[in-house]
Amino acid sequence: MRIVLIALIAATALAGCSKKAASEPQAAAGPETNAPAVPVGDNPMMADGLEQLNKQVQQKQYEAAVGALVSLSQMPKSDKQEAQFRARLRETETALLQKAQQGDAAAQQSAQMLGRMMTGR
């Protein structure tokens, strides 16, 4: 029992020291490390992803399209690309809902999955 207690105290002390050492270089770096997270220009991966999204919907690869939308939502993008993404998201959701109304069960499942993923539920 004493050995376990000593081991826990030692592990806590070592972990505590490493956190202090790791935070000091960041503080010493100063304001230069506060670069913006979003790039100023367009993200080429974003443009490619939006192109692929259209193909996936046309080829009835609905789950892949939903996965691509989720991935694209997390990518850094310019304001222009953000607007394009939002428009494409609405278009894809509308297309999935239309196909679901026509009786496509896979489209219905994917539309529901997209709704859940984008609202976080």
Q: How far apart are CA 113 and CA 111, in angstroms?
A: 5
pLDDT category at 45 given cuts 50, 70, 90 is confident
Residue 22 banded pLDDT, cuts 50, 70, 90: very low
Structure tokens, 52: 């692929």
- Mean pLDDT, the chain, whole residue set: 75
At 84, list the tokens.
């394009």
Strand residues in the chain grouped as ranges (E): none
Half-sphere exposure of 111 (CA within 13 A, CB side): 18
pLDDT of residue 19: 44
pLDDT band at residue 108 using 50, 70 and 90 as cut-offs: very high
Going from N- to C-terminal start, the domains of the chain cover 2-33, 44-119
Confidence band of 8 (pLDDT split at 50, 70, 90): very low
Radius of gyration of the chain (CA): 23
44 pLDDT tier (thresholds 50, 70, 90): confident
